[in-house]
């Protein structure tokens, strides 16, 4: 056993001996939660103001505390201030440094607070800020996809179902679909943010505070819409972390599906797109290789994002309410998800922005595999043939074309008449890729006009998301907070 915990630990009073080194090693979180220090400082400033209004901190003490925290915030930002080996967590480290710099005044700042409400507040603040940072890089990716899509609205390509050529589509349509998927993720972040805008501070360890504090004032100062309505719930609720991890995992899944398509498009077999040298890698043994590593890492990293979510859900399952030390396990998956997305998405954006598409190759593949058979069926339906029969007749055309080794538009008049009296040579007018695309005029469909309208709406949506991403979470946040 070590000596009784020194004056540095936050909880030594009732212990006769200090913690074992093994416990210290297990318990210590400052090596990863130090990144929350700016948020812990910010909430300490808000808390100090409330202590002052409650008559628990004199005006000159408040002024000294606010100035010391501004100084420490800058030192944390520059890396000058660091946690010490004996600091258990970020709260211990911040309190130790503030006492070093302020003397006894620094020791007053824990009144009415517990690490339980502190950590829940820090993590909410941190994730709300990071959600905007993630939204900002998603918006850049959406912009790259939209720019490429606008260039390729009139580029026909084979569209796939079951990874088999199905019907021709506009390649702008193909790219726009990914922008929609990410738009739903940004919508989720916005929705999540509104639910996360609740301040746990004032809950204390679990039952609130007897010191006449003002949780609503602290909440407003920290940019939260309200203070928590139930203090026991507030210190144990980590739904916001789990939900954040779900959105991060969903973004990861969307990145992985885009990544898989880039792998296919840039393969020799598809040949739809070429990777830029700066956004692809070579092989250490095969000099000719150009590999889509970014796309593959997008696919691969979705696995760890899903792991961050499922691992944390397992941590929460069966936990009794109020604080349990298990909850310390909320931070590493959350940090990992943030770090993963912030390093992955800009790379995917660069890869997408620099893809060079081979529109001739895509156009050549568009009608392949008798992909225009649906046009025959639709042509017949427009002439009052029931779709069930029209489907059969179009199928017979495919069979005849395959037997003769020709395309659908090569079938001669006699063959058409033989297949069905409902067919006549004017059916050939719809048997072109351009005609098939132009006909898909449903909003959201593949006609160039529809795709252009869709992209215009997407651009407006992306710009709205850009503004959301740029908006600050904490009103009048100090420089040492916003620089992160
Ligand atoms: N480091 C802890 C965490 O991250 C802070 C809360 C500790 N509370 C306690 N009662 N030991 O969860």
- The per-residue pLDDT for range 386-442, each reduced to its tens digit, is 999 999 999 999 999 999 999 999 999 999 999 999 999 999 988 989 988 988 999
Lowest-confidence pick of 275-284, 295-304, 352-361, 446-455: 275-284
pLDDT of residue 243 exceeding 60:
yes
The answer to whether residue 162 is catalytic is: yes
* 119 close to 200: Cβ distance less than 8 angstroms: no
Q: Judge if the beta carbon of residue 90 lies within 6 A of ligand 1.
A: no
CB atoms near residue 25 (< 10 Å):
9
Which of 162, 278, 284, 384 does the annotation list as catalytic?
Answer: 162
Q: What is the pTM of this model?
A: 0.94
What per-residue confidence (pLDDT) applies to 4? 58
| DSSP three-state, residue 56 | coil
* 137 close to 345: Cβ distance less than 8 angstroms: yes
* Matching residue, tokens 């090596």: 31
* Matching residue, tokens 């005029």: 441
Scored b (16 or more CB within 10 A) or e, 451-472 reads: bbebbeebbebbeebbebbeee
Q: Whose CA is nearest to atom 2 of ligand 1?
A: 328
Q: Give the pair of three-digit tokens for residue 111.
A: 């009144």
Q: Give the pair of three-digit tokens for residue 225.
A: 């819409």
DSSP 313: H
pLDDT of residue 69 exceeding 60:
yes
Q: Judge if the beta carbon of residue 327 lies within 6 A of ligand 1.
A: yes
* 169 close to 437: Cβ distance less than 8 angstroms: yes
CA of 322 to the centre of ligand 1 (A): 12
Cα–Cα distance, 44 to 260 (Å, whole number): 46
Phi, psi of 199 (to 5 degrees): -95, 125
Cα–Cα distance, 200 to 204 (Å, whole number): 8
| DSSP three-state, residue 169 | strand
Cα–Cα distance, 5 to 424 (Å, whole number): 94
Q: Whose CA is nearest to atom 3 of ligand 1?
A: 328
Average pLDDT, the chain: 95
CA of 110 to the centre of ligand 1 (A): 14
Q: Judge if the beta carbon of residue 372 lies within 6 A of ligand 1.
A: no
Residue of 10, 26, 323 with the most ligand 1 atoms within 8 Å of its CB, for mutation: 323
What per-residue confidence (pLDDT) applies to 286? 81
What per-residue confidence (pLDDT) applies to 484? 58
Q: Give the pair of three-digit tokens for residue 189.
A: 């972040």
């Amino acid at each position: 056993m070590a000596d009784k915990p020194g004056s540095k630990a936050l909880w030594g009073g009732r212990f006769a001996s200090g913690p074992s080194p093994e416990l210290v090693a297990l318990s210590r979180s400052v090596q990863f939660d130090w990144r929350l220090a700016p948020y812990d400082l910010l909430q300490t400033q808000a808390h100090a103001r409330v202590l002052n209004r409650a008559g628990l901190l004199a005006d000159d003490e408040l002024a000294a505390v606010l100035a010391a925290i501004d100084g420490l915030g800058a030192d944390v930002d520059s890396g000058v201030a660091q946690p010490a080996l004996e600091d258990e967590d970020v709260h211990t480290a911040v309190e130790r440094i503030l006492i070093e710099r302020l003397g006894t005044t620094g020791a007053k700042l824990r009144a009415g607070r517990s690490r339980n409400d502190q950590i829940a507040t820090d993590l909410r603040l941190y994730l709300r800020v990071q959600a905007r940072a993630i939204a900002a890089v998603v918006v850049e990716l959406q912009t790259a996809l939209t720019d490429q899509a606008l260039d390729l609205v009139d580029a026909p390509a084979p569209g796939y179902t079951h990874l088999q050529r199905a019907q021709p589509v506009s390649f702008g349509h193909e790219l726009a679909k990914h922008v929609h998927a990410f738009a739903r993720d940004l919508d989720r972040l916005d929705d999540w943010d509104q639910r996360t805008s609740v301040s746990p501070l004032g809950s204390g360890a679990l039952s609130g505070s007897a010191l006449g504090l003002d949780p609503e004032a602290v909440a407003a100062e920290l940019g939260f819409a309200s203070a928590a309505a139930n203090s026991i719930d507030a210190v144990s609720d980590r739904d916001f972390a789990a939900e954040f991890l779900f959105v991060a995992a969903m973004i990861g899944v969307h990145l992985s599906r885009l990544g898989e398509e880039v792998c296919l498009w840039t393969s020799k077999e598809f040949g739809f797109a070429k990777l830029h040298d700066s956004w692809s890698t070579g092989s250490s043994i095969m000099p000719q290789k150009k590999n889509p590593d970014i796309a593959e890492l997008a696919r691969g990293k979705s696995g760890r994002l899903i792991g961050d979510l499922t691992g944390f859900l397992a941590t929460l399952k069966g936990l009794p309410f109020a604080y349990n030390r298990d909850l310390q396990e909320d931070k590493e998956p959350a940090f990992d998800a943030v770090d993963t997305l912030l390093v992955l998405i800009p790379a995917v954006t660069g890869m997408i922005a620099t893809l060079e598409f081979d529109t001739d190759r895509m156009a050549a593949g568009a009608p392949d595999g008798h992909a225009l058979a649906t046009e025959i069926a639709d042509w017949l339906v427009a002439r009052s043939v029931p779709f069930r029969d029209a489907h059969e007749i179009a199928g017979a055309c495919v069979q005849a074309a395959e037997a003769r080794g020709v395309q659908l538009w090569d079938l001669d008049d006699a063959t058409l008449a033989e297949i069905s009296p409902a067919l006549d040579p004017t059916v050939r007018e719809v048997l072109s890729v351009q005609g098939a695309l132009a006909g898909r005029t449903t909003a959201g469909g593949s006609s160039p006009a529809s795709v252009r309208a869709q992209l215009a709406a997407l651009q407006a949506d992306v710009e709205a998301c850009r503004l959301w991403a740029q908006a600050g979470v904490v009103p009048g946040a100090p420089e040492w907070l916003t620089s992160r």
